[in-house]
Amino acid sequence: MIEFRLYIAQRLSAAILAPLVLLHLGVMIYAIQGGLSAEEILARTRGSLLWGGIYGLFAIAVAVHAALGLRNILREWARLRGSWLALASWAFFGGLLFAGLRAVAAVVGW
Amino acid sequence: MKAHRRQPLYLAFLLHRLSGLGLALFLPLHFYVLGLALGGDAAFDRALHWTSGPLFKFAEFGLVFLLAVHCFGGLRLLALENLPWSNRQKNYAAIAVAASVFVACGFLLRAF
C-alpha cells in the first residue's frame, strides 16, 4: 500500500512540476541573454507574491519528486531496504525542502 | 546483456533515470547559490560572476538539457499512463529528446 501511495505522490508531483519546469525553461532562456546579474534577478523576484508562490510550489513539488526518484534508485540499484531506505529518502526530502524554501525566501526577500 | 536492455525504450528509461539523478544531485548546489542572496546582493553577484565563464556555460547547457529531457520524458510517461495512446512510445521518446536538444541549444545560443 505504501508503495502505491508513493507511486501516486511521484506522479502527482510530476504533474505539478511539468508546467512549472516548462515555465522555468522559458524564464531561463529569457533571463540568460546579456548575462546574469544579482540585480537583474532580484529586481524581478523581490517582493513578488506571484514568483514567490510559483517557486515555493516548485520547491515543495521538486523535494517530493526528487526524494521519491532517489528512493527508487536506492531501492533498485543500491538494493537499500527498510529503515535505511526510509531514512535516506526522508533526509534527502527534508534537506531539499529546507534548502529550496530558503532559496525562494532569499530571492523573494521574505 | 539482458534482452530488455537492448530495447530502444530501455535507453529512454535510462536517460530519464540518469537525468533525474543528475538533477537531484545538482539541486542542493543550485539552492545554495540562490540562498547566497540572503547574505546580500554582493555575495550572490560574486557567485553568478564566478559561473559566467564558457566552461560553466557548457555545463549549464548540459543541465538545461537534463532538465528538458527529464521534463519531456516525464510528459511522455504521464501521457502513456493516463491517455489512451499506444504503440507510439518510440516516437514520443524521440520527440522528447529532440525537443530537449532544441531547448538546450536555444539556451546556449543566448548564453553567449
Look at residue B64 in the predicted model and tell me its pLDDT.
Answer: 94
Of the pLDDT bands very low, low, confident and very high (cuts 50, 70, 90), residue B86 is low
Look at residue A10 in the predicted model and tell me its pLDDT.
Answer: 96
**More confident site: B8 or B105:** B105
Find the angle CA(B20)-CA(B26)-CA(B31) to the nearest 5 degrees.
125
Which of A29, A95, A107 is facing B106, going by the closest CB pair? Answer: A29
Task: Over range B86-108, report the average pLDDT.
Answer: 81
Flag if B71 and A25 touch (Cβ within 8 Å). Answer: yes
The pLDDT of residue A14 is above 90:
yes
Residue B17: domain span:
3-22+53-111
How many structural domains compose chain B?
1
A 10 A CB-CB count for A108 gives 20
- Rounded CA gap, A4 and A93, in Å? 18
> How far are the Cα atoms of A37, A44, B51, B53 from residue B47, in angstroms, in the given order?
10, 18, 6, 12
Q: How many CB pairs under 8 A join A and B?
A: 94
Among B109, B59, B96, B77, CA closest to A11? B77
Residue A91: domain span:
2-108
**Which amino acid, residue B28?**
P
Look at residue B39 in the predicted model and tell me its pLDDT.
Answer: 83
* Residue B43 lies inside a defined structural domain of this protein: no
How many structural domains compose chain A?
1
CATH number, position A97: 1.20.1300
* Residue B38 lies inside a defined structural domain of this protein: no
* Residue B37 lies inside a defined structural domain of this protein: no
Of the pLDDT bands very low, low, confident and very high (cuts 50, 70, 90), residue B85 is low
Q: Considering just the CA atoms, what is the radius of gyration of chain B in Å? A: 17
ipTM surpasses cut 0.85: yes
Decide if A87 contacts A50 (C-beta within 8 A).
no
pLDDT one-digit tens code per residue, B28-76:
999 999 999 888 888 888 888 888 888 988 999 999 999 999 998 998 8
Q: Which of A57-66, A95-104, B56-65, B103-112 has the lowest mean pLDDT?
A: B103-112
Chain A interface residues (partner B, CB cutoff 8 A): 11, 14-15, 17-18, 21-22, 24-25, 28-29, 32-33, 35-39, 41-42, 59, 62, 66, 69-70, 73, 92, 95-96, 99-100, 102-107
Look at residue A49 in the predicted model and tell me its pLDDT.
Answer: 94
Of the pLDDT bands very low, low, confident and very high (cuts 50, 70, 90), residue B97 is confident
- Rounded CA gap, B5 and A103, in Å? 39
* Residue B72 lies inside a defined structural domain of this protein: yes
* Residue B107 lies inside a defined structural domain of this protein: yes
Q: Which of A98-107, B35-44, B77-86 has the lowest mean pLDDT?
A: B77-86
The average confidence (pLDDT) of chain A is 94
pLDDT one-digit tens code per residue, A18-68:
999 999 999 998 888 877 788 888 888 999 999 999 999 999 999 999 999
The pLDDT of residue B91 is above 70:
yes
Look at residue B25 in the predicted model and tell me its pLDDT.
Answer: 97
Q: Which of A5-19, A34-48, B11-25, B81-95 has the lowest mean pLDDT?
A: B81-95
- Rounded CA gap, A47 and B15, in Å? 38
Decide if A14 contacts A65 (C-beta within 8 A).
yes
A-chain CB neighbours of B10 within 8 Å are: none
